[in-house]
């Protein structure tokens, strides 16, 4: 009997406060038109001072648990992907486990930057297929606004805050058809966020995101094109078999290039970045949750998730929802 990881529930959370392109243009030399033309972003949500990755993760996770109609104690494994954890340790996943009142799950964080949700989905799938776990909660939770230099026009326009969750459970019905993840650590200087606490010289670098946008763009487009081919080949599928593309919400031009590779119209692409910006590891799950809850993604449809992030890391997941 083939065991699949089946998606049984999703959830999402966006902070109440919003920072628009017009707001940013008051503090750096830019404009709404300039930002939107180059990124596709109009606004992004900003966490309140008392919000943390774990508090946002809790809201998203509880939505997923409610949607799946299970008890929090049914969860065997909790994986949180975040680049902005509450603490260096304990993990945000352990804090989330406590918030949910779960006493039995194994809980840990992973860090794969913007690819985090896809990496988490891959790990969850392997646990379920091996029989090591039956029900797995994955969460992407990010407070990017706290690691953005709001005087750097190249990065402050891109990022927003949010959290999203997905529950997966062992099933005989087709679910996650395949996952594909990759890393190449040779591109550190193109996209990074230093940890000033780990530096011997505490004045050397601040803990802000830095990015060489044009170089990142070129690698991302090329890499995501290749992983589309890899995913289709692994499943012996034609491009026409894909009902929905749910991409990492980083840049509208990168997304359009991936859709073109699949010969898909933009009507088949789930886009949230105009209203949310780049929420890093939360973005793919936020977009998936949005399309499930508004009725676009229906049971039985085939969905391709893909992401690219610092590391570089990149990955895809093909799901029969």
What's the CA gap between 67 and 62, in Å, rounded?
A: 9
Q: Does residue 11 have a pLDDT over 90? A: yes
Q: Identify the pLDDT of residue 203.
A: 61
Q: Identify the pLDDT of residue 1.
A: 84
Beta strand 77-81 pairing with 135-143: parallel
The residue among 208, 212, 162 whose CA lies nearest residue 44 is 162
- Could you list the active site residues? 114, 248, 278
* Residues 300-313: tens digit of each pLDDT: 999 999 999 999 99
The residue among 141, 158, 147, 150 whose CA lies nearest residue 43 is 158
Segment 92-117 shows an average pLDDT of 98
Q: Identify the pLDDT of residue 125.
A: 98
272 burial level (CB within 10 Å; 0-12, 13-18, 19+):
buried
Class of the CATH domain delimited by 4-173: alpha beta
Does domain 177-320 sit in CATH 3.40.47.10? Answer: yes
* Residues 149-206: tens digit of each pLDDT: 999 999 999 999 999 999 999 999 999 999 999 999 999 999 999 998 887 776 656 8
Q: What percent of the chain has pLDDT over 90?
A: 96
**Can you give the pTM of this predicted structure?**
0.97
Query: Is the fold of 4-173 the same as that of 177-320?
Result: yes
Can you give the residue ranges of every domain in the chain?
Answer: 4-173, 177-320
User: How many Cβ atoms from other residues are within 10 Å of residue 63's Cβ?
Assistant: 21
* Residues 212-250: tens digit of each pLDDT: 999 999 999 999 999 999 999 999 999 999 999 999 999
């Amino acid at each position: 009997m083939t065991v699949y990881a089946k998606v049984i529930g999703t959830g999402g959370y966006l902070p109440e406060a919003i920072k628009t392109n017009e707001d940013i243009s008051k503090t750096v030399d830019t404009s709404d038109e300039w930002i939107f033309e180059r990124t596709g972003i109009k606004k992004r949500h900003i966490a309140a001072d008392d919000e943390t990755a774990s508090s946002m993760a809790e809201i998203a996770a509880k939505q997923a648990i409610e949607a799946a109609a299970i008890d929090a104690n049914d969860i065997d494994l909790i994986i949180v992907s975040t680049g902005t954890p509450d603490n260096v340790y304990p993990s945000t996943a352990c804090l989330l486990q406590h918030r949910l009142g779960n006493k039995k799950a194994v809980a840990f964080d992973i860090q794969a930057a913007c690819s985090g949700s896809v990496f988490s989905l891959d790990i969850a799938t392997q646990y379920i297929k091996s029989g090591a776990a039956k029900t797995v909660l994955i969460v992407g939770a990010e407070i990017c606004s706290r690691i953005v230099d709001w005087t750097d026009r190249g990065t402050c326009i891109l990022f927003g805050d949010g959290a999203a969750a997905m529950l997966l459970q062992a099933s005989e019905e087709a679910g996650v058809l395949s996952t594909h993840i990759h890393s190449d650590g040779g591109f550190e200087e193109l996209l990074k966020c230093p940890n000033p606490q780990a530096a011997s010289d505490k004045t050397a670098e601040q803990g802000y995101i830095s990015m060489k946008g044009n170089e990142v763009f070129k690698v991302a487009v090329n890499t995501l094109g290749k992983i589309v081919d890899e995913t289709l080949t692994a499943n012996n599928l034609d491009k026409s078999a894909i009902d929905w593309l749910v991409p990492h919400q980083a840049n509208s031009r990168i997304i359009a290039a991936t859709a073109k590779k699949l010969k898909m119209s933009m009507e088949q692409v789930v886009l949230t970045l105009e209203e949310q910006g780049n929420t890093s590891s939360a973005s793919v799950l936020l977009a998936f949750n949005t399309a499930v809850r508004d009725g676009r993604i229906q049971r039985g449809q085939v969905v391709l998730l893909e992401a690219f992030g610092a590391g570089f890391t990149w990955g895809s997941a093909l799901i029969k929802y």
